[in-house]
Structure 1
């Protein structure tokens, strides 16, 4: 028995089995992530991805089997090809569904693609009689139409899916790698008769990059979802300012750290009248405008929050910022750039003062501004 050489690990049957096994491991990790998402999110996109990954694992398991048993029947080769095409369809469908709600027309497009694939797959068994050649030549032609159809699906995916999802760079790279693999496979089979070891190795290794990027694609989508969930838990949905709970916790953190901070409390003047006369849509627009001004003025020096209704607050964290001047700048901009005015009060933290007391003092200062003429800034 010959000793195992290092180069055998990267070529021949053993090299192919190692490549396919690595791909199977990557697919298994990706499947675990997708299945976890499917169980927690119950979204059809994760179902499509999960099913496609199972099909891909079946496909590469079959390729390992083919390496161990080279005598492949026409039926086995046909089903291997079908697994390849339908897994590609499902992966791209799942990727699209990760970023888009599934509509009836999307389902119709998928069904049509599956139907067309099924019809085209019949070409594997029915070679036109006018094509002449020996048995091996005819056998070589059997998968040609399906292989070309897969190239067409690649371009369709680029046109229909790429522009409608996030992570476009990763997706484009995935399609490029898949296209290269398909071209190398077809060149090796139809130009070199399947006898080019370099092309065979490329055909086995490039898919590893494809499936690794697919894994990273799904993991990054998980991170995006986690960030979205976290942001929705700490931010107000309309203004995108921090919500009351988060703001209060941050005030407490700064005070616990013995950092000198101030709180500015603001309330939009006559907001109920605005809602009653011009509608809630206009009220929402004004809230977003005011929030935008407060964010711009406090960038790098404070934290903005929506305390409730038309009340917005600022935690001034920069010790060099004059809170009275900051509040006046915000008030003046709101008066000049919107159809409303605001009454504002501010308070600076003193020793032994709690978060509740600091916010309450700023609130009381704002109330004094509100009851003494509005559209002004009052210190506590």
Structure 2
């Protein structure tokens, strides 16, 4: 074990645990653990999704781990040279920039314009980084004052990254609340650091502790951000497996399974089967885009009428099906509402048939009966509701 760390532990007291060197090392170690967990989650996502955003995020996390490893080293060996301090600043700025790029790429493809903006920001950061070595030499002052000026350019540039992230990244991603909280925490953390360093020369113990706690909170929110992104993607994958991509209604397989489940529990359900009249003619004369729009309108009407207890699905083509719980009169009323609203609110009409629960009937037969009733409505004048008999 490191000799300095042993001596710190031997001289341990409560003050050291809160604002002393050992407390700082513990805080940074906790942050490293949080970063390692976030890195593991990002790696799993990269393997499963192979999206560039996770690669950027992983790279930023690796840099952050290196940065905090170096900060721990600074606590054990408190007199770092200029090069070590410069590397720490570059790691800090690069990691924060890459975190924001990664978050943006989690929700957006990187287009040419975005790539140019990222390139310009990286170029500006490189120029600002050069001020660490070249600008202080043109100022007069004591070596201590010159040393204070060296990192100022990069440290002020961090505020530029925060501002640009808020203006360009925040409007184009999900989880805006978490992202805004992350930027706020980082801003507060950096302001506290700058205040403590440039106004109090790092002598304020409370500010020093806050410098450690705010980044800890930032990285916890970052972990939650990525974890929630996993949940969002899992939800999206699940929804795509049970819902129709155009209308947002349940797909045929899911709808059939739900009808089957209700019948297996002897719940008295009815199936309403609707078909848009003259849909092929609409597609041929006004185009498939208009056909898609009408189909979405009819689906929305069916969903609104059937909710909250009914289940709507797209059975195929222009066929919309609804499962409701109720007797013949209640089902007929719902079916008529769907037909009337479609006629009143869209440029098409629908032919509707329905069939009600009977003892021993299965899902296939119930749906087939409703389909036959719909076909009868279509062949006997259209734009009407007929019950299976």
> Which bin holds the TM-score, normalised by the shorter protein?
over 0.9
Query: Counterparts of 2:281 and 2:163 in 1: how far apart (Å)?
Result: 56
Q: Are positions 1:364 and 2:389 aligned together?
A: no
Match for residue 229 of structure 1? 237
CA displacement 1:189-241 (0-9 Å, x = unmatched): 11111111111111011100000000111111111111111111111111111
Query: Counterparts of 2:138 and 2:63 in 1: how far apart (Å)?
Result: 36
Query: Counterparts of 1:76 and 1:324 in 2: how far apart (Å)?
Result: 78
2:181 paired residue among 146, 162, 173: 173
Q: Are positions 1:341 and 2:381 aligned together?
A: no
CA displacement 1:153-201 (0-9 Å, x = unmatched): 2111111111111111111111111111111111111111111111111
1:115 paired residue among 111, 118, 123: 123
- Runs of 4 or more consecutive aligned structure 1 residues displaced over 4 Å after TM superposition: 318-321
Do the aligned partners of residues 12 and 332 (structure 1) sit closer, same or farther apart at CA in structure 2, a change above 3 Å counting? same
Contact 2:170 2:179 in 1 (8 A): yes
Query: Counterparts of 1:329 and 1:320 in 2: how far apart (Å)?
Result: 14
Match for residue 29 of structure 1? 37
Contact 1:344 1:369 in 2 (8 A): yes
Contact 1:301 1:318 in 2 (8 A): no
CA displacement 1:226-262 (0-9 Å, x = unmatched): 1111111111111111110000010011111111110
Query: Counterparts of 2:187 and 2:11 in 1: how far apart (Å)?
Result: 37
Q: Are positions 1:133 and 2:141 aligned together?
A: yes
Query: Counterparts of 1:208 and 1:318 in 2: how far apart (Å)?
Result: 55
Deviation at 1:271, TM superposition (A): 1.0
Gapped runs of 5+ residues in structure 2?
A: 1-6
Match for residue 210 of structure 1? 218
Do the aligned partners of residues 185 and 44 (structure 1) sit closer, same or farther apart at CA in structure 2, a change above 3 Å counting? same
SS of the residue corresponding to residue 264 of structure 1 reads strand
Query: Counterparts of 2:150 and 2:284 in 1: how far apart (Å)?
Result: 73
Deviation at 1:115, TM superposition (A): 1.4
Query: Counterparts of 2:136 and 2:64 in 1: how far apart (Å)?
Result: 31
Do the aligned partners of residues 269 and 36 (structure 1) sit closer, same or farther apart at CA in structure 2, a change above 3 Å counting? same
2:265 paired residue among 257, 261, 284: 257
Deviation at 1:3, TM superposition (A): 5.8
Do the aligned partners of residues 5 and 208 (structure 1) sit closer, same or farther apart at CA in structure 2, a change above 3 Å counting? same
Query: Counterparts of 2:93 and 2:325 in 1: how far apart (Å)?
Result: 57
Contact 2:339 2:349 in 1 (8 A): yes
CA displacement 1:52-101 (0-9 Å, x = unmatched): 01111111111111111112011111000000000011000111111111
User: How many residues align structurally?
Assistant: 380
Match for residue 241 of structure 1? 249
Query: Counterparts of 2:222 and 2:24 in 1: how far apart (Å)?
Result: 21
CA displacement 1:9-35 (0-9 Å, x = unmatched): 222111001100111111111111111
Q: Are positions 1:145 and 2:125 aligned together?
A: no
Normalization by structure 2: what TM-score? Answer: 0.95
Q: Are positions 1:286 and 2:294 aligned together?
A: yes
1:65 paired residue among 73, 77, 80: 73
Contact 1:301 1:321 in 2 (8 A): no
Contact 2:353 2:370 in 1 (8 A): yes
Query: Counterparts of 1:67 and 1:270 in 2: how far apart (Å)?
Result: 77
1:329 paired residue among 337, 348, 367: 337
Gapped runs of 5+ residues in structure 1?
A: none
Deviation at 1:4, TM superposition (A): 3.1
SS of the residue corresponding to residue 192 of structure 1 reads coil
Query: Counterparts of 2:306 and 2:176 in 1: how far apart (Å)?
Result: 33
Do the aligned partners of residues 26 and 114 (structure 1) sit closer, same or farther apart at CA in structure 2, a change above 3 Å counting? same
